[in-house]
Structures are given as C-alpha cells and as structure tokens.
Amino acid sequence: MSQFDYDLFVIGAGSGGVRAGRLAAASGARVAVAEEYRVGGTCVIRGCVPKKFMVYASEFPHYAHIAEGYGWSASEATFEWSRFREAKDREIARLSGLYVANLTRSGAEILEGRAILTGANSLEVEGRGAVTAQRILVATGGRPWRPEDLPGADLAITSEEAFDLPALPERMVIVGGGFIAVEFAGIFNGLGVDVTLVYRGDQVLRGFDEDIRSHVAAEIQRRGVKLILGAHPTEIAGRPGDLQCRLSDGQVLPAGQVMLATGRKPHTRGLGLEAAGVETGPNGEIRVDAWSKTSVPSIWAVGDVTDRINLTPVAIREGAAFARTEFYGQPTRFDHEAVASAVFSQPPVGTVGLTEAEARAAYANIDIYRSRFRPMKETFYGGQEQALVKLVVDADTQRMLGCHVVGPDAPEIIQMAAVPLKLGVTKAQWDSACAVHPTLAEELVTLSEPVARSPA
C-alpha cells in the first residue's frame, strides 16, 4: 500500500493540468486535480475561447460593409451585448462541463478549492484538509498584472473583467501593446466602442517581426482604432463610467472604461512554493528543466506558471509529456523550438519560426522574401486593407527559418506552414508545392526573388 494519498496531485484545472491529470489517471494512477475557480482554466473560462467568440462578434460590422460592395442591400442590424454575453456564458459553461466530464471519466478526482503546498509531498486543500502525493504538478497559469505605482489603477479593468462588462462603454482606453491589448482593441472597436490604444513603446507587438508590427499598427488604425505610442498613463481618475486617463505626454483621455493589458505574471503568490523548497524566478515563474521538473524532485510544473511559451497548446503538450514520462515509461520532452502562434487582431496574424532580426543575429547570411498586397476580396469592392506575407531563409543552406502572415485566415494558414518549417524544409522544397488559386496563401509558394539579403 502506498504511503501517499495520491500518486499525482495536480494544482490547477486548466488545459495543461487537465491533460496531465487525464493521461495519468488513464494509466491507473490515483489522481486528484484541485481547482480554486472553475475547471477549464484561463483559456476556456477567461482567455482565448471567450475572446475568440468576441472576435467573431466584432467582425460582423466589417463583413456588412464588405457585403454592400458585393451587391447586398444594407439592412438594419443592432448588437445586443447582453444577448451575446448570455450566449457566451452558456457555451463556456458547456465547455467547462466537458472538461469535468472528461476528467471524471478518466478516473481523476476533482477537488473544488485552493490547494497550497506545505512540503515536497504534502498539501493543504480547501474543504479537504491535509493530503499527500507521490508527485505534485503545478499548473496554476498566469494572471493579469496591474502596475502598482499607477494612481487609480483599481478603477481600471483587466482582460479578465472585459468578458463580463455589464454594458459596453461609449469610449475605452486600452493600455498596453502586446497581443492581448491589440486583440481587445480590435474587438471593442468592432463592437462600436470608440477605442484608443496607448503603449509606452515605439511600436505594438514587441517581440514580433518588425514588418508584422508596423503592418498591424497601420491596419488597426485603418479600421478605426486610435493609436498613441511613446506614452503611458500616469493617473486614472474619476468614477466608474466617467473616467479620465492622464498620459505622460500631457494628454487627458476621457473614457467610460480603462482596460489595463500591461502583461501577465505567473500565478504563484501564496502557493506555498517556499515551504516546499521550489525555486522561482524574478517574475514568480517556477523554474523547470526540459522535463518540466522543478528544483524539488517530487514536484513538476507546466504551462504559463513556468513562463516559457505562454500558449494553451504548449501547456497541453507539456502536460502530456510529463504524464507519458512519469506514468507510461515513455520519456518525452516537448520541443519549444518553432512553435506557431496567432494574434487574433483585425486583420489577424500567423507566425512561426524566427523573425528577421532573430535570424540576422543567429545566421551569417539570410534571404528575405516579402509581399504586400490587397487580398482579392478587398480589390473587388474597393477596400484598402493590405495583407502581408514574409519568409525568412538561411541563404547558405536555403533552410526555411521563419514564416509570417497578416491577413484573412492567417492563423489557419500558419498551422499548415508550421509543419514543413518544423521539419527543416528548404526553400526549394517549400516552393515545389503547387499554389492553390485564387487564395491569399498561394503567395507563400510563389515568392521567387528575395527582397533583401544579408549581410546587407
């Protein structure tokens, strides 16, 4: 008989924790999964899933504008935020229920309540008391970060509250320049809110390819988002529904709502990591090795709480790799190189591999292939929205290093582009695939001449 209550105890029922718990339980292990809020985690409850629903809802006015150019008569259409919110909540509840059902079906026990580490193999669980486990997996994700030195920060919302606003404001100021800020700027702009996006840097989407950054900035402004760069809020004042956001450049922006999208931090505060001896980094992230092992042999961590690549599919792969290694005797490490990602801005972004700047820093000679153009749908009705495709290639070996797309269906396109790039395809092999015409994606295999070479 084991000296422990469980073979595995998972803290956090998000995507990574649920996948690890399901796989481990399916092996016959005794598994418990503790969740302090709702099963499903950030992605399902307050992240990418409800956000994608909001993206869909916000795109319809743009579609209606396009439809007129294609001969459809305009009709009276109104948007009811309350109806959308109710439908969104029903769908999120359904998805959360599926997570619960799948966990239970696998044999895992779900504990509703906060779990805190008290040692290398022990925890205190709200409503349950002390429990022990041979292995512990921390998968508590991340939470929005509020600048502590910003007067009036408590008057603002974060991305988590954005899903449940009682009503849409007439004007909104969104602070931040990352993908969350850019996505919500497009969402609320599309829903009819007067949106101003404020970012302290020189361009939005830091860390993305420079061509992507400038292209997206131009296109979101074309759609109606006001963009203020090189400034940051120094004070938020007023009362809910009637706020003023004072900026470092002297501007004062009136707003019904101010949203802080200034980053996220690993959700580790008060988790008991110190008591267990788990080493953390400067932002509170749990430090792990390639096998997701922490500094304590009996404790692992996956997902955003490790601050490696903060994407849902990555957390799922990390959780699966942990379970296969520990419960199936199949040593597995997730490869964090060349992971594709998307920004559901308007227009959206798909990207995989190295940016031009990263490639120039790592390789002696690179070739850049790039094309900017109006998609076919736009040219027909006189629309001005531009698409961008860009390839980064090692000039010496002709190996594909990066692929970047901005335009309709870019996230769908990049998924397929990621497969050959991950496998180390050369430019000649890439080009050997015949184009599908007429599509935006065909540009990817018809770029025959580089527009830039390095060394320049």
Q: Which residues contribute to the annotated binding site?
A: 52, 176-183, 263, 304
Residue 176 Ramachandran class (φ > 0 left, ψ -120 to 50 alpha, else beta): left
Residue pair 217/204 in contact by the 8 Å Cβ criterion: yes
Q: Residue 147 and residue 292: Cα distance in Å, rounded?
A: 30
Q: Report whether 205 contacts 227 (CB < 8 A).
A: no
CB neighbours (10 Å) of residue 436?
10
Contact (CB, 8 A) for 138 and 286: yes
Sheet holding 194-199, edge to edge: 226-229, 194-199, 171-175, 257-260
Strand-pairing partners, residue 227, are 197
The number of angstroms, rounded, from the C-alpha of 242 to the middle of its chain's C-alpha atoms is 30
What is the rounded CA–CA span in Å between residue 181 and residue 162? 11
Pairing of strands 171-175, 194-199: parallel
d(C-alpha 8, C-alpha 278), whole Å: 17
Q: Which residue ranges make up the annotated binding site for NAD(+)?
A: 176-183, 263
- Reported residue count of the chain is 456
User: For every residue of 93-111, which 3-state class applies, written as one string?
Assistant: HHHHHHHHHHHHHHCCEEE
Q: Are 67 and 145 in contact (CB under 8 A)?
A: no
Give the tokens for residue 128: 């349950």
Backbone phi, then psi, for 82, in 5-degree steps?
-65, -40
Catalytic residue IDs: 437
Rounded Cα distance between 183 and 348, Å, is 9
CB 48 within 8 Å of CB 32: no
286, 294 in Cβ contact below 8 A?
yes
Cα–Cα distance measured from residue 4 to residue 290, given in angstroms and rounded to the nearest whole number: 26
The answer to whether 193 touches 172, Cβ cutoff 8 Å, is yes
Whether the CB-CB separation of 186 and 179 falls below 8 Å is answered with: no
